[in-house]
Amino acid sequence: MPETIRDVTVAHRPYRLRSAAVERTLAGVLPEPIKDHFVVVDGRRYPPNQVLGVVTGLERSAFTSHQALRVLRGLGFVEGRRAPLPRRPVGKQPTRAAASPQRTERPTAEALEPYIGEWVATRGAEVLVSAASVKEIDSWLSRHGEQADGMFRVPRTAAEASGLAPQ
C-alpha cells in the first residue's frame, strides 16, 4: 500500500498521521477481540478504537469507533464488519442428531496466509489472535476472556504442512 498522509483532528487535537507509521506502531501489538467493526493493518484485523488509541495516545473515550473508522479509512486501511455469530433460539434444546459432534468451520488457506509461521487461535472460521508463541496466545485468551476451539502453528512450507522431516 502506498503511504498516505492525512491531517486530522481527534478530540480537538490536530494530528498528522502516516499509514506507514501506523503499520510500524502496530507491528508488535496483538489485536484485541473484534466486537463489530475492524480495520486491516498489515494483514491483521484490529478494532478501530485500538488502532487510533495506540497511534494517538488518546484514551478511547475521547473518540467514537465511527470517527476512528473514518480516520483509518482516509489513510487507506481496509475496513470491515465482523459476521454475526449464529445463535440458537432460546428455549430450544438440541435434538439427539444435533447434539452429536459436527464438523466445525475452519479458516481457509487464504485467511491464514497473513499468519504463516505464527501460532493462531481460532473459533470456527475466525482467527481470534496470532502470536509468536503458544504462551502469548494463551495469555491473550485469558486476558480477554475468550475461548478458542483450535490453536495451531500455520506452516511455512508444504513440507511443514505434511509433517515430513526436513531432508
**3-state SS record for the chain:** CCCCEEEEEECCEEEEEEHHHHHHHHCCCCCCCCCCEEEEECCEEECHHHHHHHHHCCCHHHCCHHHHHHHHHHCCCEEEECCCCCCCCCCCCCCHHHHCCCCCCCCCHHHHHHHCCCEEEEECCEEEEEECCHHHHHHHHHHCCCCCCEEEECCCCHHHHHCCCCC
**pTM value?**
0.68
Is the pLDDT at 97 greater than 60, yes or no? no
Tell me: pLDDT of 86 over 60.
Answer: no
Please report the pLDDT score of residue 107 as a whole number.
Answer: 85
Quick one: what percent of the chain has pLDDT higher than 90? 42
Average pLDDT, the chain: 84
Confidence (pLDDT) at 20: 95
Segments making up each domain of the chain, as ranges: 5-81, 104-159
pLDDT of 167 over the 80 cut: no
Task: Supply the pLDDT for residue 60.
Answer: 93
The answer, yes or no, to whether residue 29 has pLDDT greater than 80, is yes
- pLDDT tier at 50, thresholds 50, 70, 90: very high
